[in-house]
Structure 1
Amino acid sequence: MPRTTPPTTTTGPAPTTATATALMTTTGPVPPAGSSSDAPAGGPVSPPWEELVTSALLGTDRRPPGGAPGTGPDSAAAALLDAAALHTVRRRAGLLPAPAAPRPGPAPADPRPALPEAARSRLAQLLADRAAPGGSGGRRGTAPDLTELIPQWLATANLHGYRAPDAALPPLLDAARARTDLRPQALTFAGPRGLWLAGLNPDWKFALRGASGSALLPEVTDLDAVRRLWEEGLFAERVALLSAVRAHEAEAALALLATTWPTERAEDRLMFIDSLRTGLSGADEEFLEQALADRSRNVRATAAELLSALPGSALAHRMAARALSCVSPGLTGTGPSVAVEAPHECDAAMQRDGVVALPPSGRGERSWWLAQLVESSPLSVWPARFGGRGAPEIVTLPVADGWGEELHAAWCRAAVRQRDAEWARALLGTPSTPPSNGPGTASLAERSKLLAVLPATERADWVAGFIAAHGLSEAFQLLGVCPTPWAEPLGRSVVDALDIARDAGSYPWSFSGVMGLAERCLNPAEADRLEVLTTTPDEPADASPGANGYWSEAFQRLVSTLRLRAAMDRELIPAR
C-alpha cells in the first residue's frame, strides 16, 4: 500500500476524517485486541485495531497511535496509515471461504420448438438495440427503430409457439424489466426456463408476479399445495396463484381468498379484490357486498365498482333507484327533453355503496354525486324511463339546465364499465360529427374507451371515418385502441392524411407520434404502395424550412420499417 502523508493539525480530527471512514468500512472480521494478528512473531508491533480507529477519530495530535516510530510533523499520521495498511492485509489474508450456496435445481424442460436460425439472429439484434443512430437535431434518420419492433416480434413468435433460446433469456428478462409493456409477451416467450432463471436473480423478481400457470406454481388442481402456498407464500407468489386459480375456476379462487381475507393487510386486500375483474360474475356478488363494509376506503370503492359492472346486482339496483329519482323525462318547449335534479346530500347508505362524498377540487358536490349515481346504474333502466326510446334517441334529447355534459359523461363511463356496445355506439355518434358537437363526451380519452367496447372491425372503420373527416390532429389516442395490423381502410386513411399534411406544408414534427404508430401498425404489405412518398418534392413557399426533407426521411423510415417487419414475419414461419 503506498504511503500517503496527510497534513498535520493541532486542533482535532478533521485531517483524518477520510482515514477514519476507511478504517471503519474495511471489510472482514475485526481481530480481538491483543490477538496474535496485532503482533505476529518476528514482525513489527502495531497497536490494536480499536486503538487505530480511536486515533483516526480523535486526531493523531490528540491521540497518537501507540508505538508510532520516527520523528517529524507527519510521523504520527504516517504511522497510523502504515499500521492500518498492515492490519488490512493481515485481515484479508485470514478470511475463510464462505460456504457454498445450495446448487439450484435443474431448469425445467421446455418442449416448444426451437426458433429458426434467422429468427434467432434477429432476436439477438433486437435485444442488442442495434438501430442506426439518428441524425443531428434530434432527427431519427431513415433506419427502423429496432427496440419498438420487439413487441411485435414477440407476439408473432408466441403465435407460432416457439421457445426462447437459452442464451437470449438474460437479455430478454432485462428488456422486460426495463419496459413493462414487454412483460406479458416476454414472459410467455421465456416460458418455464425463463421463470426458473428469474427466481435466481432478485432483479428479475417482477417475472414471478406473472408466473401464472408456470412451473413455479403448483398445479391448481393440487388443493393441498395451493392452500400451502396461499398461506405461506410471498405476496407476489400469492397474487400469481390467485390469478391462476381464478382463470381455472373462478369460484375456487373466491373461496381461497375468503379463507384469509379478514387477516390480510389493506393494500393486499385491494390487490386481491382487484383480481376478481377476471371472470367477474354474479357468483362474486355476496363476497363483494361484504367488502362494501371493509375498513379500507379503496377496497370499498373497488368492490362498489365491480358490483356496478354487474347490472343484476343489488347494488346496481340501489344505484338505479337513486339515479332514476334524479333524471327524468321533461319538456323543452314542445319537444321531449331530460330533466335533472341532482342529489342534495350524500347520506351514509350512498357512501356505503361507494359514492365518494368529497368531490375533487373545482368540482361541485351535487354534480359529483349525480355522476357517480348514473355511472353505477345499469344502462338498461333508461329506455323504460324515457318511454321505450333506445340509446341513440335518448342521448340526443336536450338536457335542461346545463346538465348535459355531466350526464353524457356519466353514461359514457357506464357504457365502458358495463361493456355495452349499443350505448357506446350511440354516445360516439357518427365519425364525421365534430367531437364538440357529438352526443357523448368531447374528451378523446373517453371516446377511446368507448371505441374499445366496439368489435374490432367496427372500431377500425369508425376511426378511419373520423380521420377522413377531421384529419390526424385529434386521432392519435383513437388509433391506439385499433387492432393491429391496421385494416386496409384505416391504414389508407392514415397514409392519405399524412400525405395531405405534407402537401399542405404542415409542421412535420407534430405528426411524429402518428408516424411512429404507422411504423408499428400498418400492414407490411403496404410498403410498395408507399414507395412513391419517399421522394422529396419542392417545398411550398409557406412551408416550414426543411419540412419536405423531414417528410421524405420519415416516409423512407416507414417503408424500411414495414419491409423489415415483413422480413421478421417470414423468418418466423416454421420450416416444413
Structure 2
Amino acid sequence: MVWEALVKAILLGTQRLGKRPLAEIVPLSEEIEPLIDGDSLEAQILQGLAIASVQRQAGRRFPKLEVEDSPGVAPEERLPVCSAAASRRLEEILAGEEVPERLPLWLGWAQRCQVRVPPQFLPALLEVGRQGRNLRPLLLPVLGDRGYWLAAQNPDWAYGALVVVGVTAQEGWREGNLPTRLFWLQQMRRQDPALARDCVREVWARHKAGDRTEYLKTFHQRLTAADEPFLLEALGDKSQQVREMAAQLLTQLPESEFVQRVTRWVAGRLRRSPQGIIVTLPETMTPEMRRDGVREKAPAKLSRPHWWFLQQLARVPPRVWAQGDEIDDWLQMAADHPLKDLLLEGWAVAAMGYGDVEWGRRLLRWPIPGRLEEVQGRDRRLLGRLPQEEREAWILAHLQAHPQTMSKRHPSLSRLQICEWDWSDGFSRAIFQRFCQDILASQDKYDWAVRATFRQFATWMNPHLEAEFRERLLPKMKPQSYWRQTVEAFLAMLRFRQELQEAFSGSCGSCGSSETAENP
C-alpha cells in the first residue's frame, strides 16, 4: 500500500498535494515514519520510495519480524537455474516496455526446459504475477522452491505460495483460501481424479455456490464416466451457475445419461422432412430444462423459446444428425430455413465441444453469430481440430477468395487472428507476401486492427525467416511511413524469439530446435 500511495502522490504532483505532511498522504507505519526526515515533501517522498523499494525486494512488509515469527530458511532447490544467456534475456525483458508480449515466451521456454528463474528476479516476477493473473500458470512452475518461500513472506504474493515442499495435496486442500484449495484440487485431478472427487463431495454442502462452481471447473482435467453420478447430483443444485457448469461437463461425456436425455428432447423438436428441416420451439421453461442448466433469460434480439432451443441443440453430438457428405445436405437445408442462424450456431458450438472435425470444417465456411460462445474462441477451437496442413490451406484459400485490400472489415482478418500455432515456412511466406503487397500500397494509411494482427504474426512465424523478411520489405518502405514502426516491431519480435531459442538451447536438451517450447 505504501508503494502504491507514493506512486500516486508523484503522479498527482506535490503542488496539488499542498503543504500536508507525508504521513497524511501515505499510510506510514510507526516504524517507518521516524526514518523519513527530509526537509521538503519531495525529499520525503523519495525517502519513502527508497524504503518501500527495500520492502518489495525483501518480499515482506517492513518491519514485521519478531524472533519467534521469523520465517524458516528457504528449502533446497529441486530445479536447475536457467542458463546465463537466458538470465540476460529475462533481465532485458523486465527492463523493457514489452513485458506482456515477451515474458510469456520466456516463461514458456523455461517451463518446457524444466529450469527455474534466477533468484535475483523473483521479486520483480512475483509482482508481475500479482498484477497479471493470466501469467500465473506460466510463472508458477518456474519460480522454484525459493520463489514459493519468498511469496509466502508477502500477502500480496500469496498466489505464489501455493506450492509448499513436504505438503501433500490432501493437506493443502484442507487449508487456506479458495485459490489454495483450487491449486491442490487441480493437482489431485491430475494424479487421482477419484480422490479429488471425494474431497469435493466431502465439503460440497458446506461451501458457497461460487466455490462449488470453481471446484467443478477442475473436473475438466481427466473427466471420465466415473464422474457422471456426482455431476448428475450437481444438476440438482440450487445455484444456476453450478447447474450450468455440471451440464457443461456432462456434455463432454457423449454416452452420459444427461446427453442421451437432451438428445431425445431435441430430436423431438428437430427433424428432417422431404420439404426440409422442421423445428418445433418449446413453449415454456419446464422444471426439467431448468434442472439441466438451461438459462431462462434470453440475450437481446432473441426470444426465450429460440434461446432455450439453441442451448439444448448445442449439447447434442452433431453426428446424431448426419455424418460424411450428408452433413452438406443438412447445412444447405439450414441455409434456406428461417432459423438458419440458430441452427448453424447450435451445431457449431456442439462441433466445438465434441471435437467433431467433419462438422467443424464445413461450419467454418459459414458466417455464424456468437451468442452462446464468443465467435473467435469458438472458431479457434474448430480450426484447431483440423490437421495443420489443412488449416493453413483453408486460410490461404479464404484469402485468395477475398483479394481486396486488408482492412478491419476484411472477412479473412478475423480468421488470421485465430491462427495460433507454429506456422510452416510456406504458410509464413505466403501470409507475409500478402501483407507486403498491402503494406507497400498503403504506407500512409492507418488501420490499427490490421497492424495489430500483423504484429501478432511474429509470435507464430519461424523466427529464422527474420533476415529474409527484413530484406524483402524494409528497403522498399518510405522512411516516414505509418507502417514502418509496426514492421520494425514485427521484425524485432522475430529476432527476439531467435535469440531466446539460442539462449535456452544450452539448458534444454529435450527441446532441440522445436518452436513449440514457446507455447507449451
TM range (shorter): 0.7 to 0.9
Q: Which runs of 5+ in 1 are unaligned?
A: 1-17, 29-96, 132-144, 221-225, 539-545
The partner residue of 2:72 within 98, 105, 110 is 105
Aligned-pair CA distance for 1:362 = 2.6
Q: 1:111 to 1:100 in 2, by over 3 A?
A: closer
Match of 2:447 in 1: 509
Aligned AA for 1:459?
A: R
More off after superposition, 117-126 vs 445-454: 445-454
TM-score in terms of structure 1 length: 0.70
Cα 1:218–1:466 shift into 2, 3 Å: farther
Match of 1:299 in 2: 242
Residue 98 of structure 1: how far off its partner (Å)? 7.9
The answer to whether 1:329 aligns with 2:272 is yes
Distance 2:300 2:166 in 1: 45
For residues 377 and 402 of structure 2, what CA distance do their matches in structure 1 show?
A: 17
Q: What is the alpha-carbon distance in structure 1 between the residues aligned to residue 488 and residue 178 of structure 2?
A: 49
Q: Which residue of 1 aligns with 2:472?
A: 532
Q: Number of paired residues? A: 444
Pairwise CA distance, 1:457: 4.5
2:490 aligned with 1:558: yes
Q: Which residue of 2 is the match for residue 288 of structure 1? A: 231
Q: 1:561 to 1:460 in 2, by over 3 A?
A: same
Instruction: Look up the equivalent residue of 2:361 and give its one-letter code.
Output: R
- Structure 1 contact 536–549 (Cα < 8 Å) conserved: no
| Aligned residues of 2:455 and 2:489 also touching (Cα < 8 A) | no
Task: Between 416-425 and 390-399, report the one with greater CA deviation.
Answer: 390-399
Residue 392 (structure 1) shift: 3.8
Per-residue deviation at 1:177? 2.2
Could you tell me which runs of 5 or more consecutive residues in structure 2 were left unpaired when the two chains were aligned: 1-19, 31-63, 510-520
Aligned 1:243-254 pairs, distance under 5 A: 243-254=186-197
1:125 aligns with 2:92: yes
What's the secondary structure of 2:273's corresponding residue? strand
Q: Is the 8 A contact 2:83 2:504 kept in 1?
A: yes
Q: Which is higher, the Rg of structure 1 or of structure 2? A: 1
Q: How is 1:328-347 mapped onto 2 (pairs within 5 angstroms)?
A: 328-332=271-275, 337-347=276-286
C-alpha contact 1:250 1:279 (8 A) present in aligned 2: yes
The equivalent of 1:466 in structure 2 is: 398
The answer as to 2:69 corresponding to 1:116 is no
Per-residue deviation, residues 259-318 of structure 1 (Å, max 9, x unmatched): 111111111111111211111121111001111111111101111121122111111111
2:458 to 496, 515, 519: 519
| 1:306-455 alignment, distance < 5 Å | 306-332=249-275, 337-383=276-322, 390-398=326-334, 401-429=337-365, 435=367, 443-455=375-387
CA contact (8 A) 1:375 1:414 kept: yes
Change (3 A) 1:109 1:402: same
Give the alignment of 1:38-49 within 5 angstroms: none
Counterpart AA for 2:341: E
Q: 1:219 aligned to 130, 152, 168, which one?
A: 168
Partner of 1:43: none
Per-residue CA deviations over 1:195-217 (Å, capped at 9, x if unaligned) read 22111111112224xx4xx4357
| Cα distance change on mapping 1:272 and 1:535 into 2, 3 Å | same
Q: Is the 2:417–2:453 Cα contact (8 Å) retained in structure 1?
A: no
Contact preservation (8 Å) 2:376, 2:418: no
Q: Structure 2 CA distance, aligned partners of 1:477 and 1:191?
A: 39
Superposed displacement of residue 480, structure 1: 4.4
Q: Which amino acid aligns with 2:106?
A: W
Q: Secondary structure at the match of 1:361?
A: coil
Partner of residue 271 from structure 1, selected from 205, 210, 214: 214
TM-score (normalizing by structure 2): 0.77
**Deviation per CA, 1:504-555, whole angstroms, max 9, x where unpaired?**
32724332211220232221111121122002447xxxxxxx8x72334433
Query: Is the CA contact 1:307–1:313 (under 8 Å) kept in the aligned structure 2?
Result: yes
Q: Which position in structure 2 is the counterpart of 1:141?
A: none
Secondary structure of the residue that 2:268 maps to in structure 1? helix
Work out the CA distance in 1 between the residues paired with 2:159 and 2:87: 25
Change (3 A) 1:283 1:238: same
CA–CA distance in structure 2, aligned partners of residues 563 and 115 of structure 1: 20
Partner of 2:128: 175
Cα pair 2:79 2:144 within 8 Å, conserved: no
Rate the CA distance shift 1:146–1:536 in 2: closer, same or farther, 3 A.
farther
Cα drift, residue 565 of structure 1: 2.0
Give, in angstroms, the shift of residue 154 of structure 1.
Answer: 1.8
**Contact 2:314-2:349 at 8 Å conserved across structures:** yes
SS across alignment from 2:278: strand
The whole-number CA distance in structure 2 between the counterparts of 1:390 and 1:215 is: 55
Contact 1:463 1:490 in 2 (8 A): no
* Separation in 1, partners of 2:114, 2:188: 23
Distance in 1 (CA, whole Å) between partners of 2:447 and 2:335 is 41
**Quick one: distance in 2 between partners of 1:241 and 1:443?**
33
Q: 2:430 aligns with which of 474, 493, 501?
A: 493
Answer yes or no: is the 8 Å Cα contact 2:344–2:368 preserved in 1: no
Residue 109 of structure 1 aligns to which amino acid in structure 2?
Answer: E
Structure 1 residue 229: Cα displacement: 3.9
Question: 1:468–1:497: 8 Å Cα contact kept in structure 2?
Answer: no
2:10 maps to: none
* Aligned residue in 2 for 1:207: 160
Q: Deviations over 1:124-162 (max 9, x none)?
A: 111122x5xxxxxxxxxxxxx465222112212222222
SS in structure 2 of the partner of residue 183 of structure 1: helix
On the 8 A contact 1:527/1:562 being kept in 2, the answer is yes
Write out aligned runs for 1:476-491 (5 A). 476-491=413-428
The superposition leaves residues 229-253 of structure 1 with CA deviations (integer Å, 9 ceiling, x where unpaired) of 4334332221111111111011111
Structure 1 stretches of 4+ with a deviation exceeding 6 A read 25-28
Tell me the SS of whatever aligns to 1:263: coil
Distance change in 2, residues 1:447/1:498 (3 Å): same
- Structure 1 residues 199, 567: closer, same or farther in 2, change over 3 A? same
Range 296-305 or range 564-573, more displaced = 564-573
Bigger shift: residues 177-186 or 265-274: 177-186
Question: For 1:15-54, what per-residue CA distance to the aligned partner results, in whole angstroms no more than 9, with x for missing partners?
Answer: xxx99x98xx9987xxxxxxxxxxxxxxxxxxxxxxxxxx
Equivalent position SS for 2:333 = coil
Conserved in 2, the CA contact under 8 Å of 1:428 and 1:450?
yes
Q: Find the aligned partners of 2:439 and 2:154 in 1 and give their Cα distance.
A: 50
* Corresponding letter in the other structure for 2:344: H
Query: Paired residue for 1:541?
Result: none
Cα separation, partners in 2 of 1:205 and 1:496, compared to 1, 3 Å: same
The percent of aligned pairs where both chains have the same amino acid is: 26
Distance 1:27 1:557, change over 3 A: closer
Distance in 1 between the 2:227 and 2:216 partners? 10
Cα deviation for residue 356 of structure 1 reads: 2.0
CA RMSD, Structure 1 to Structure 2 (Å): 3.2
